[in-house]
Amino acid sequence: MNKFEKIYLDIEQKIKSGEYPISSLIPSEHELAKHYGVSRETIRKAQKLLLENGFIQKKQGRGSIVLDYHRFSLPVSGLVSYKELQLEQNINSVTRIIQNEKIAAPDFLIGQNGVKATEQFIHLIRTREINEEVMIIDEDYIRCEVVEHIPNEIAEDSIYQFFEDDLNLIIGYATKDFIAEKASALDIELMNLNPMDYVISVSSNVFLEDTTFFQHSISHHRLEKFSFSEFARRKPRLNA
């Protein structure tokens, strides 16, 4: 194992143990080089691994800040709101609204699931920030014949709670597609990514219990900070 890898593992352990708390600054390159008895170049290699694995983020003029390294685990098959996941996994997050307006039905939805060209949709774009870093960009197209409007204060909190508690909608099921794709211009701008970076894109079509289609969502997730999980059980073989 190389020296920089050993240093990486040591700093990783100090972050996980709380010796370097979340949101604190780790020692400077000079201090770390002196502590480990190596060159600053070796420290930079160790810091690069910490950065790539989501443990630190370099801040201009401040040094390297410790991130909340716990990955936000998203279920593959469950239909769960962001707020519910946030509470369940104890993630401190801030939602910011980029866009909330009514638009004509987008071309890619017309003719799908009964959508007509004359319909209107709410186009809602929100970012999810953890430790002042944008980790998710959520883009929703919500059918106006089902939901007439969404106040900004609701969009900043939980639209599903609004749908179910205020509008008494019964949300039934969703179809989901997962794909790795190159970061879009919006991803690059808001997530501070490079043009060659990839994101995980999760596209969903959501239906009410009576099978009415009412929401199309596209969520872009940073690769290094999120995992997708599912509990799977093998079905017994019929001839077993």
The pLDDT tens digits for 128-140 are: 887 778 888 999 9
**200 closest CA partner among 210, 209, 211, 191:** 191
Same domain assignment for residues 21 and 56: yes
104 and 192 share a domain?
yes
Give residue 173's domain range. 72-228
In a domain, 121, yes or no: yes
User: What radius of gyration do the chain's Cα atoms show?
Assistant: 22
Q: Is residue 237 part of a domain?
A: no
Q: How far is CA 117 from the centre of its chain?
A: 31
Tell how many helices (H) and how many strands (E) occur in the chain. Answer: 7, 10
Task: Please tell me which of 161-175, 181-195, 214-228 the model is most confident about, judged by mean pLDDT.
Answer: 181-195
Same domain, 80 and 54: no
Q: Are residues 134 and 194 in the same domain?
A: yes
116 and 44 part of one domain: no
97, part of any domain: yes
Query: Could you tell me the pTM of the whole model?
Result: 0.63
CATH of the domain at 116: 3.40.1410.10
pLDDT, position 135: 86
pLDDT in tens, 152-185: 999 998 898 899 999 999 988 788 888 999 999 9
Give a yes or no: residue 235 inside a domain. Answer: no
For 203, phi and psi rounded to 5 degrees?
-105, 135
- Please determine, for residue 209, whether its predicted confidence score (pLDDT) is greater than 70: yes
Question: Does residue 26 register a pLDDT over 70?
Answer: yes
User: What's residue 217's pLDDT?
Assistant: 94
Number of structural domains in the chain: 2
Q: Name the DSSP letter for residue 25.
A: B
* Stretch among 71-85, 95-109, 177-191 having the lowest mean pLDDT: 71-85
- Residue 234 is predicted with a pLDDT of 47
